């Protein structure tokens, strides 16, 4: 079923499958490289990109492993849920570095099964099986930043 673009509360259009795939990619990068989640991302329906702070460029084998792992999580059919909790509780399970200083005392935490938990106001799928196949289309490395460009293919 084709997912529609959805407007979030800031009137920004989002494509839920791609936005959810970004969460999975972020957690995969954290687990594989010990880096923070992407601090700069551009998420669109046709293709998206994320930037990661890394000491060195990932090898072709590591890039293939990132793609394989993201698709493994997608194919595992994890439920995507959201819950509200105090910042103090959220800080124990999610990286809150990207939050603005004037954030409210209650945050919306989006969980992808037991794989990822992230503070997020965006639109997501209900289950990872709705995402499609994750494909890295290109990547580059410059000045300690690794930029990865990706798309989703229908299965």
Domains of the chain: 12-153 (3.30.980.10)
Task: Tell me how far apart the terminal alpha carbons of the chain are, to the nearest angstrom.
Answer: 11
Average pLDDT of 4-19? 63
Distance CA 112, CA 126 (A): 9
Rounded to an integer, the average pLDDT of 19-47 is 95
Bridge partners (DSSP) of residue 145 are 53, 142
Average per-residue pLDDT for the chain: 90
pLDDT of residue 42: 93
Question: Burial of 124 by CB count in 10 Å (0-12 exposed, 13-18 middle, 19+ buried)?
Answer: buried
Residue 84 contacts residue 107 (beta carbons within 8 Å): yes
Please state, in angstroms and as integers, the Cα–Cα distance from residue 154 to each residue in 2, 16, 65, following that order: 9, 14, 20
Contact criterion met (CB below 8 Å) for 52 and 38: yes
Q: What is the mean pLDDT of residues 120-137?
A: 96
Query: Residue 155 — very low, low, confident or very high, per pLDDT cuts 50/70/90?
Result: low
Q: Would you say residue 44 has pLDDT above 80?
A: yes
Among the listed ranges 8-17, 38-47, 89-98, which one has the minimum average pLDDT value? 8-17
Please calculate the CA angle 54-40-7 and round it to the nearest 5 degrees. Answer: 150
Is pLDDT of 146 > 90?
Answer: yes
Which range (20-34, 65-79, 95-109, 140-154) has the least confidence? 95-109
What's the mean pLDDT in 53-68? 97
pLDDT > 70 in the chain, percent: 91
For β-strands 106-112 and 116-119, DSSP reports them as antiparallel
Output the pTM of the full model. 0.89
Average pLDDT over residues 77-82: 97
C-alpha dihedral, 142 to 43 to 67 to 133, nearest 10°: -150
Token pair belonging to 12: 């920004």
């Amino acid at each position: 079923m084709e997912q529609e673009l959805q407007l979030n509360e800031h009137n920004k259009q989002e494509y839920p499958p791609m936005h959810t795939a970004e969460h999975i990619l972020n957690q995969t990068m954290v687990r594989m490289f010990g880096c923070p989640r992407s601090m700069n991302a551009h998420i669109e329906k046709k293709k998206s990109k994320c930037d990661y702070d890394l000491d060195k460029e990932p090898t072709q084998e590591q890039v293939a492993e990132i793609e394989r792992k993201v698709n493994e999580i997608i194919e595992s059919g994890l439920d995507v849920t959201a819950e509200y909790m105090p910042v103090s509780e959220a800080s124990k399970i999610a990286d809150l570095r990207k939050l603005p200083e004037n954030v409210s005392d209650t945050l919306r935490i989006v969980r992808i099964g037991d794989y990822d938990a992230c503070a997020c106001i965006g639109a997501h799928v209900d289950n990872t099986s709705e995402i499609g196949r994750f494909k890295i289309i290109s990547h580059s490395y410059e000045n300690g930043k690794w930029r990865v460009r990706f798309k989703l293919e229908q299965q």
